[in-house]
Amino acid sequence: MKRHLLEAADLDRDDATLVLDTAAQIDQALAGREVKKLPTLRGRTVVNLFYEDSTRTRISFELAAKRLSADVINFSAKGSSVSKGESLKDTALTLEAMGSDAVVVRHHMSGAPHRLAHWVRGSVVNAGDGTHEHPTQALLDAYTIRQRLGRLDGVRVTIVGDVLHSRVARSNVGLLHTLGAEVTLVAPPTLLPVGVGSWPAEVGYDLDAVLPKSDVVMMLRVQAERMNASFFPSAREYSRRYGLDAHRMGALPDDAIVMHPGPMNRGMEIAADVADSVRSTIVEQVANGVSVRMAVLYLLLGGSPQ
């Protein structure tokens, strides 16, 4: 494993498989235990540095570090000296001076975690940077697929929606390809990034044509907060063409699963009954996020198993 986890490309197939296998071992070790805690990172300090809003990812990293017995500092830009104009570098050096071993960073600027990695001695984990990457989300998604379908090699994964603004899509395309899955992107042409043709994925525009050939359908949130222009005619029109409702879900093969990284726009990219159906793995994804992040912190910080 490299020292930092900044993007999916930091993991080759062996590294990625090691993370998933370690997460599975952690799950097993904790299953049925009353005290869901391992002593592995006792005495280590993990800083969660969040410059952008987050529910799942922040809580998940906090819980992961705590379950490994690390000391955890949660830093959110709101309410800190960042509001007085302190730079990312000075903030990082301050945290470093206090002895942090790992910094988990979410930032609205693509590339911020890469910069940070030059300034601190510990490990940097990217928890989502702008529209760029979100590698631990891709790991937890891969873990969930493997858990449900028993394999990743040859699994047909269709990622649908706002690919343009999605760091989840970018990281998933890279990681799932590394792990042998076949990825197809389906989106309105306006919500596909320039250069998508060079990604290791097929690109399509017709969801109904792709669904019967999908083992996994991953719905992306329409990221209205990152849109400064009109990318589609109306929410209704978007749902009609690219939303997953119960009727469309019926076109999937029998054991196919439906994923969403959250937060969802229920009724927009995914209908409420689909989100709550037995095919949906949305709640499992959240639970798996903790195990996968424990595995990442454990492997990066090199704690010895106890």
Q: Which residue has the tokens 């942090």?
A: 100
8 Å CB contact between 4 and 135:
no
Least separation in angstroms between residue 98's CB and ligand NCD is 26
Residues 6+ apart with CB under 8 A from 142: 16, 20, 152, 172, 175, 176, 179, 181
39 closest CA partner among 293, 298, 291: 298
For residues 164 to 193, the per-residue mask of contacts with ligand NCD, x marking binding by CB under 6 A and - elsewhere, is ---xx-------------------------
261 contacts ligand NCD (rule: CB under 6 A): yes
Question: Is the Cα torsion angle 179, 280, 256, 232 positive or negative in sign?
Answer: negative
Tokens of 286: 């959240």
69 closest CA partner among 95, 107, 49, 39: 39
For residues 140 to 169, the per-residue mask of contacts with ligand NCD, x marking binding by CB under 6 A and - elsewhere, is ---------------------------xx-
Distance CA 161, CA 232 (A): 11
DSSP 16-41: HHHHHHHHHHHHHHHTT-SS----TT
58 contacts ligand NCD (rule: CB under 6 A): no
Question: Is the Cα torsion angle 41, 45, 50, 55 positive or negative in sign?
Answer: positive
Of 122 and 261, which has the nearer Cβ to ligand NCD? 261
For residues 108 to 137, the per-residue mask of contacts with ligand NCD, x marking binding by CB under 6 A and - elsewhere, is --------------------x-----x--x
Of 25 and 130, which has the nearer Cβ to ligand NCD? 130
Helix or strand holding residue 123 (H, E):
strand 123-129
Q: Tell me which of 40, 45, 48, 57 binds ligand NCD, using CB under 6 A.
A: 57
For residues 4 to 33, the per-residue mask of contacts with ligand NCD, x marking binding by CB under 6 A and - elsewhere, is ------------------------------
Least separation in angstroms between residue 144's CB and ligand NCD is 12
Of 174 and 261, which has the nearer Cβ to ligand NCD? 261
262 contacts ligand NCD (rule: CB under 6 A): yes
Of 168 and 210, which has the nearer Cβ to ligand NCD? 168
Question: Where on the chain is the footprint of ligand NCD (CB under 6 A)?
Answer: 56-57, 128, 134, 137, 167-168, 221, 223, 261-262
